[in-house]
Amino acid sequence: MQKSLFAIAKKTLRWLILGGTLFFIIKALKNNWQEVAAIHIDNIGWSILALATGITLMAHIWAGWVWTWVIKELCPSIYAAHFIQVYLKTNIAKYLPGNIWHYYGRIVGARSAGVSLSVATLSVLLEPLLMAAAALIIVILGSQFTRTDSSMILAAQVTGLLITLAAIHPQFLNRILHSLQKAKQKKAPQDSVSITPVNLKRYPFIPLLGEFGFLGLRSSGFLLTIFALQPLHWQQIPLIIAAFSFSWLLGLVVPGAPGGLGVFEATAIAMLQSHFSMAVIIGAIGMYRLVSTLAEIIAAILAWSDERLTN
């Protein structure tokens, strides 16, 4: 009974979040559609958008490479190219309802390469935590540019960062893993296959640093998308990077938003509307969603083609 109520509440929350964000975006578009329609992109602007797509493509490839670093922290003897292919092929599945199928695909792909279920699952859990930690650090450092005057918001961000950093610490994480493994072994039949123990031997500093590169490339693609619509001053760059990182982070953690759809856009509009014209913000955000999705499709095609050639 409690599980069914929790499932209903979770599903309702997802629809409320999705409905609320879409209502906010549609209202903003309705009030500014004439200005948005008047935006003109010249040949130089289209060239900049092509560059933004290329940089966003590089970001996804880089993220796949960082995922191999996470796996190597748990299982050193892996062939990195295969796992990058798996990452890129499954990335587009995040837009499916549930927002979990890209993670499931990576676990299946890692298992097919001979990695244990424990290592595959833990790597998939660690990767978004490392991304979230990197994004929170960028957001906190950039709070002075986004004019976040609320001490409560800053305190919540710092608290979230400390919790995330603690959650991926080996002393904490290994204890949780050992407890789960013992519980599974007690429930498993005597003739079942033994569960392979997994440990994080050191703090994943290198993968964490790698996620800064991912966010740097993603935010650069977003920055170029805005630049394709209007000139920018160098003082606006930290603001755009911080706003993008926070919007992307909420799109990652908020339930009910496959691929961050709606949540990313609504947050970016709210954070940038006092710094840019609403038409430019809406145009840039809509264009960036197309840029990002196109980059993910190209990455998946490249991964599939490379896999066919190598096999």
Residue 276 has pLDDT above 70, yes or no: yes
The domain segmentation of the chain, as residue ranges, is 42-192+203-310
Neighbours of 278 (CB within 10 A): 16
- Counting every residue written for the chain, the total comes to 311
By the 8 A CB rule, do 170 and 201 touch? yes
Percent of all residues in the chain with a pLDDT value above 70, rounded to a whole number: 80
Least confident among 29-38, 43-52, 163-172: 29-38
**Bigger pLDDT: 75 vs 110:** 110
**Bigger pLDDT: 295 vs 174:** 295
By the 8 A CB rule, do 168 and 86 touch? no
Q: Phi then psi for 120, rounded to 5 degrees? A: -60, -45
Of the pLDDT bands very low, low, confident and very high (cuts 50, 70, 90), residue 44 is very high
Of the pLDDT bands very low, low, confident and very high (cuts 50, 70, 90), residue 134 is very high
The confidence score (pLDDT) of residue 210 equals 96
Cβ-based neighbours of 107, under 8 Å, separated by 6 or more: 117, 120, 121, 124
Q: Look up tokens 């450092």; give the residue.
A: 141
Residue 3 has pLDDT above 70, yes or no: no
By the 8 A CB rule, do 236 and 133 touch? no
Least confident among 61-75, 120-134, 252-266: 252-266
The confidence score (pLDDT) of residue 51 equals 97
Q: pLDDT, tens digit, for every residue of 187-234?
A: 655 544 445 567 888 999 999 999 999 999 999 999 999 999 999 988
**Bigger pLDDT: 80 vs 298:** 298
The confidence score (pLDDT) of residue 244 equals 95
Of the pLDDT bands very low, low, confident and very high (cuts 50, 70, 90), residue 34 is low
By the 8 A CB rule, do 215 and 248 touch? yes
Residue 157 has pLDDT above 70, yes or no: yes
Q: State the chain's mean pLDDT as an integer.
A: 84
Of the pLDDT bands very low, low, confident and very high (cuts 50, 70, 90), residue 263 is confident
d(CA 309, CA 311): 5
d(CA 195, CA 306): 33
DSSP 8-state class, residue 58: H
What is the DSSP code string of 92-116?
A: GGGGSTTS-HHHHHHHHHHHHTT--
Structure tokens at 258: 């496959």
Q: pLDDT, tens digit, for every residue of 79-132?
A: 888 899 999 999 998 888 777 889 999 999 999 888 888 889 999 999 999 999
d(CA 244, CA 264): 8
